[in-house]
Chain A
């Protein structure tokens, strides 16, 4: 038998190893794939939707065993930025301000070409702001729908605000305080509650028939009276623990968290479409552009939630099925049970663009042709 030299021995070793590895790979994969991978449905949503949406996702997965739903909450602008600017695609986007969808997505081209991220939205729900508190809040036994702003102005009352730079709930809280000045005919409500409590101060300027609130780029409270947190998720524990006495919340969240609340007049709660003309009298202007893709102004307007399926969704059929489940199935019931009713029908600006499976659930926006 001929003796092999060292290179020959090495070659044999490599051939044997590669063959063995191939067999092992085949066997291992056979063993680890007993069943088909479930479809993944990735949903980015506004933080104020997380509570009911997690419940809907659980119910949906029970009813659709082949689909695994992943829900991730963000501020509404971030919800849209993830697929459009941060290269983080999702199958379904749900935001607390439906108007962000056309502003941020209709003109944004898909990276892989073939059009823009979307050309339609479904406006599926509303909400309104309330003043939340607990039994242990200062003056909880006397605060009511007519004196709440006097209570907030008291020196020994602590309030929490969502950061308006981060969260729509935050700038909507500022709008409510400004609208209260108009509604109650009390021109110092905003200043007495917030004005001097920040450095730099939050300045308001009357421009014609509206008032503009300038939100400084440093939203920096200088007294203990006001606590600022990123969103309601961080604020509610402060309220529950008694660290603060009052905060503005969405009605749906106040109900979901089980805190007490005062319903504000329609003229200021941002929940009544017929009051849109009044809401527009208050405007927030940011002095700092956190995002380049969205302007600096937020005008008072009725709160509407919107959704869309981005053009680069990996699983658009599952997204449409989930949406159908939400608008007209068990999801709708879950939202109702959690104090966040879904419109029936919902509205769209572009019925032709909406996936066919959803068209029967939506009607054209009023006034959109």
Chain B
């Protein structure tokens, strides 16, 4: 590796002849002055109790102003006088530019950054630190860096070496005992240590103008009020917004006119948590209620400002979202913690500082009965007689409340359909419909019921298992919607293995009778 070791051009070019001449002149003039006064060099030195001081201590800290901002927003402006009252640090350090050149090491004099931050309440592991120069250049230090964990290099070779002692960020005002040169000072953030190691140059910030403690994550809650209610905390909201690979997509995105990218949760998904008692499944959002205009959606700011949206406008709309981030970061104070945004909203409806989403139900609305759009099918029942049920006939059976049953699986998904024993009862003997259609005597004697899929796959169940068992169904709805897979009909129910839950069901047959 080609390492260029150089010293910064700090003092301009040196003309030794000029120096010699000036020194001679000074000596001669001083001698002449003494001679004319007729004094010996010690005669009039006043007595003093002041101790001898080093050259750097005699120099005054240059005037400057740096704004320090604490994690709570508290600000102080410090100057030379403030630094003069702090403990002086004198240690060694140097920097490596991104192109590999090494400057230093030099000895710097200054104060610990941590001492300065104590003026605004200090810094914790939850914070980071932003330091900005007068020209706008800024860098952010992590807690680890602030605590002295920097990548370090040997001053001699430029090779990366591990520091055995922590490095310290220092606000320096002298370099090798002299004020910093124009362009570097009056105050420069430097990284120093006992070992005189070199650190990455982008952390060495010239002309420091502002030091900000970046606040830790701020907590918030969002109140959701409707048929169900909940208070959602920040972590829950963020995990929802960042939920990967979900359908529908939990993340809403809106790009504003200035290119700002707002991300959050589409409002309709939040509404789905509170519009009925199904809070978080594929069918949590109740489309029937939304279509019927059963409620309006109020989005309410912390100060009470409220925007009201029609349920049909919000329905499945990915272009209306409650944003928790702008360009990947928590919202600025002006909008924090949440803002209603989206390409379908005018500016005056983009509520900032959102605290609550509330559904206001209209009790006068009559909900229509809307059947899910189940694909056509035929189910053949074979026993003592044979019957082919098409979708219409099957659903007419479902419409009879005694025939319509639900079963909830271990994951909370709700399956709806007709109990198997009612379907078998239509073909197990000549009695097809009525209270005695299911022949209990035959069932007690025992037979097998075969469930056959469209691809020929089949499984058999004992009559004893299905007899008058409302928890084993031929299901046609899953969480209120047509079956997402292995439909349109599937045998499901309590105690069945997944292998016994035959999907794509086309035929039910009594295969062995006593």
Using CB atoms and an 8 Å cutoff, list the residues of chain A in contact with chain B. 6-7, 9-10, 13-14, 17-18, 20-21, 24-25, 28-29, 32, 47, 50-51, 54, 72-75, 78, 81, 85-88, 163, 165-167, 203, 205-208, 212, 214, 216-218, 220, 229-231, 233-234, 236-238, 285, 287-293, 296-297
* Residue B36, interface by CB 8 Å: yes
Within the complex, the shortest CB–CB distance from B147 to chain A, in Å, comes to 13
Q: Which of B2, B25, B153, B200 makes the CB contact (< 8 A) with A54?
A: B2
Nearest A residue to B242 via CB reads A203
Q: Which residues of B contact A233 (CB under 8 A)?
A: 1, 98-100
* Residue B263, interface by CB 8 Å: yes
* Residue B202, interface by CB 8 Å: yes
Within the complex, the shortest CB–CB distance from B18 to chain A, in Å, comes to 7
Q: Which residues of B contact A290 (CB under 8 A)?
A: 137-139
In the assembled complex, the Cα of A163 lies from the Cα of B17 at a distance in Å of: 47
Nearest B residue to A295 via CB reads B259
Q: Which of B303-340 contact A (CB under 8 A)?
A: 327-329
Across the interface, do B17 and A166 meet the contact criterion of CB distance under 8 Å? no
Q: Which of B32, B130, B182, B329 makes the CB contact (< 8 A) with A13?
A: B32
Q: How many residues on B have C-beta within 8 angstroms of the other chain's C-beta atoms? A: 52
Q: Per DSSP, are chain A's interface residues mostly helix, strand or loop, or mixed?
A: mixed
A-B interface, 9 closest residue pairs, ranked by CB to CB distance from nearest: A73-B99, A214-B328, A292-B136, A28-B17, A17-B28, A233-B100, A10-B32, A47-B99, A231-B98
Across the interface, do A10 and B21 meet the contact criterion of CB distance under 8 Å? no
Q: Which of B17, B32, B201 makes the CB contact (< 8 A) with A32?
A: B17
In the assembled complex, the Cα of A214 lies from the Cα of B201 at a distance in Å of: 24
Asked whether A18 and B25 contact (CB < 8 A) given A6-B35, A50-B100, the answer is yes
Across the interface, do B200 and A230 meet the contact criterion of CB distance under 8 Å? yes
Nearest B residue to A7 via CB reads B36
Q: Which residues of A contact B160 (CB under 8 A)?
A: 234, 237-238
Q: Which of B66-125 contact A (CB under 8 A)?
A: 96-101
Across the interface, do B327 and A214 meet the contact criterion of CB distance under 8 Å? yes
In the assembled complex, the Cα of A4 lies from the Cα of B160 at a distance in Å of: 71
Nearest B residue to A286 via CB reads B327
Across the interface, do A287 and B329 meet the contact criterion of CB distance under 8 Å? yes
Q: Which residues of B contact A205 (CB under 8 A)?
A: 251, 253, 261, 263, 328
Across the interface, do A75 and B183 meet the contact criterion of CB distance under 8 Å? no
* Residue B45, interface by CB 8 Å: no
Across the interface, do B253 and A21 meet the contact criterion of CB distance under 8 Å? no
Across the interface, do A73 and B159 meet the contact criterion of CB distance under 8 Å? no
Across the interface, do B140 and A218 meet the contact criterion of CB distance under 8 Å? yes
Across the interface, do B328 and A207 meet the contact criterion of CB distance under 8 Å? no
* Residue B24, interface by CB 8 Å: yes
Across the interface, do A207 and B99 meet the contact criterion of CB distance under 8 Å? no
Pick 18 A–B contacts, CB within 8 A, sort by A.
A6-B38, A13-B28, A14-B28, A17-B29, A21-B21, A74-B99, A205-B251, A205-B253, A207-B255, A212-B261, A220-B144, A229-B200, A233-B1, A233-B98, A234-B96, A287-B327, A291-B137, A292-B136
Using CB atoms and an 8 Å cutoff, list the residues of chain B in contact with chain A. 1-2, 16-18, 20-21, 24-25, 28-29, 31-33, 35-36, 38, 96-101, 128, 130, 135-140, 142, 144, 151, 153, 159-160, 182-183, 200-202, 214, 251, 253, 255, 259, 261, 263, 327-329
Within the complex, the shortest CB–CB distance from B287 to chain A, in Å, comes to 26
In the assembled complex, the Cα of A193 lies from the Cα of B135 at a distance in Å of: 36
In the assembled complex, the Cα of A37 lies from the Cα of B100 at a distance in Å of: 29
Within the complex, the shortest CB–CB distance from A100 to chain B, in Å, comes to 15
Q: Which residues of B contact A234 (CB under 8 A)?
A: 96, 100, 151, 153, 160, 200
Across the interface, do A218 and B35 meet the contact criterion of CB distance under 8 Å? no
In the assembled complex, the Cα of A10 lies from the Cα of B96 at a distance in Å of: 53
Nearest B residue to A214 via CB reads B328
- Chain A CB within 10 Å, residue with most, of B25, B100, B128, B182: B100
Within the complex, the shortest CB–CB distance from A60 to chain B, in Å, comes to 17
Q: Which of A9, A51, A81, A206 makes the CB contact (< 8 A) with B253?
A: A206
Nearest A residue to B138 via CB reads A290
Within the complex, the shortest CB–CB distance from B160 to chain A, in Å, comes to 6
Across the interface, do A297 and B259 meet the contact criterion of CB distance under 8 Å? yes
Q: Which residues of A contact B261 (CB under 8 A)?
A: 205, 207, 212, 285
Across the interface, do A88 and B202 meet the contact criterion of CB distance under 8 Å? no
Q: Which residues of A contact B18 (CB under 8 A)?
A: 25
Q: Which of B32, B128, B153 makes the CB contact (< 8 A) with A218?
A: B128
Q: Which of B20, B159, B253 makes the CB contact (< 8 A) with A237?
A: B159
Across the interface, do B137 and A47 meet the contact criterion of CB distance under 8 Å? no
In the assembled complex, the Cα of A230 lies from the Cα of B199 at a distance in Å of: 10
In the assembled complex, the Cα of A28 lies from the Cα of B251 at a distance in Å of: 77
Nearest B residue to A217 via CB reads B140
Q: Which of B97, B136, B151, B159 makes the CB contact (< 8 A) with A229?
A: B151
Q: Which residues of A contact B137 (CB under 8 A)?
A: 81, 290-292
Across the interface, do A237 and B183 meet the contact criterion of CB distance under 8 Å? no
Across the interface, do A74 and B97 meet the contact criterion of CB distance under 8 Å? yes
Q: Which of A166, A216, A236, A293 makes the CB contact (< 8 A) with B202?
A: A166
Q: Which residues of B contact A75 (CB under 8 A)?
A: 98-99
Q: Which residues of B contact A50 (CB under 8 A)?
A: 2, 99-100
In the assembled complex, the Cα of A94 lies from the Cα of B327 at a distance in Å of: 32
